[in-house]
Amino acid sequence: MPSRRPLARRARPVIGFSVIVLLLLMAWEGAKWVAGDPWRFESFLGTGIAINHTPPFRLTPFNDINLPHVWWIVEEFASVDARGTTTLAVLVGAGLFTLRNAAVGFAIGAVVGLGLAIVIVHVRFLERSLVPLLVVSQTIPIIAIAPLIVIGLRADWLGVAAVTSYLTFFPVTIAAIRGLRAFDPRAHELMTSYAADRRTVLWKLRLPSSTAYLFTAFKIAATGSIVGAIVGELPSGMSQGLARQILTGMQYYTLGPSYLWAAIVIASALGIGAFVLVTLVERWVLRDARPAESGAEA
């Protein structure tokens, strides 16, 4: 039973994640130490230690514009704008707005995606005629189609949700087509021997057998929904979401790169949050399922 594991073992993934993030940050700063701009600090991070270091090499990707110091980004979160609001509060507020659009878009995408898959597995000729069309839909860059949807539909949360669902339905459809066929053929014979109709087979056999496929797709879609919502916000001219903050960060990048990086941090935090949320739901839904082989989780 996963819930009864000792705390030390349950904390292990969190510790592992933190260690990896720490190593990445060290590599980041290490690269700057070796090939970044000169380090000139009179009092390093308020410790009173003066650092005066000139890296032996100079590489453009590691200079202060392209790769600002990690603590500059942290400081950016704490900095206050003209109205007295911290960047963190501004970005988290924008992030929550985007998250709401993403959630609606994810929900629409999941329902439409699953619905399409259900139709496709029941009407055989659709698989060869409709699926290629769905593939084509994904080859059009979302950035090109977003203005069409947002302006054409409505430049509000609904339009943004529509763009998001355009990005999220596809992985759900593809995975669900496989998942809905992943049942044990003998179980299908069993259902046939009970003269079960298609709807009963769908509810009692096909959908329950497809959960592993569905949740894998939901994880991809949930992460993608954040990207979709941001892309959808761009042409809508909405100012409340993360898209506007990212645009601002891009405009002022050469003056201060840390604002864009701060926005990126918030956007990835949203993506991770969406992923974790789906994982938690999956764990709850499959709480009584046969224990997976060790390491087969996630």
Q: Is 195 in the site for other proteins (CB under 8 A)?
A: yes
Residue choice 52, 78, 139, 288 for contact with other proteins (CB under 8 A): 288
Contact between 201 and 188 under an 8 Å Cβ cutoff? The reply is yes
Among 100, 178, 181, 204, binds other proteins (CB under 8 A): 204
Using rule CB under 8 A, residue 214 touches other proteins: no
Restricted to residues 172-191, the positions that interact with other proteins (CB under 8 A) are 184, 186-187, 189-191
233: amino acid identity, one letter: E
- Among 193, 255, 293, 294, which residue sits at the site for other proteins (rule: CB under 8 A)? 193
Distance CA 284, CA 298 (A): 13
- E strand spans, the chain: 39-41, 51-53
Rg of the chain in Å (alpha carbons): 24
What is the smallest separation between the CB atom of 203 and other proteins, expressed in angstroms? Answer: 10
181 vs 204, beta carbon nearer other proteins: 204
**Which tokens is 135 given?**
């593939």
Asked if 294 interacts with other proteins (CB under 8 A), we say no
According to CB under 8 A, which one of 59, 142, 182, 196 is a site residue for other proteins?
196
Query: Could you give the CA distance from residue 147 to residue 137 in angstroms, rounded to a whole number?
Result: 15
First to last CA, the chain: 16
Q: Which is nearer to other proteins, 73 or 201 (CB)?
A: 201
- Closest distance between other proteins and the C-beta of residue 199, in Å? 11
Give 58-66's long-range contacts (Cβ < 8 A, gap of 24+): 59/31, 59/35, 62/31, 62/32, 62/34, 62/35, 62/36, 63/36, 63/37, 64/36, 64/37, 64/257, 65/253, 65/254, 65/257, 66/257
Among 51, 208, 280, 298, which residue interacts with other proteins (rule: CB under 8 A)?
208
Instruction: Tell me if 297 contacts other proteins by CB under 8 A.
Output: no
Q: Does 61 bind other proteins (CB under 8 A)?
A: no
Provide the β-strand partners of residue 86. 80
Q: How far is the CB of 281 from other proteins (least distance, A)?
A: 15
Binding site residues, other proteins, CB under 8 A: 184, 186-187, 189-196, 200, 204-205, 208, 211, 288-290
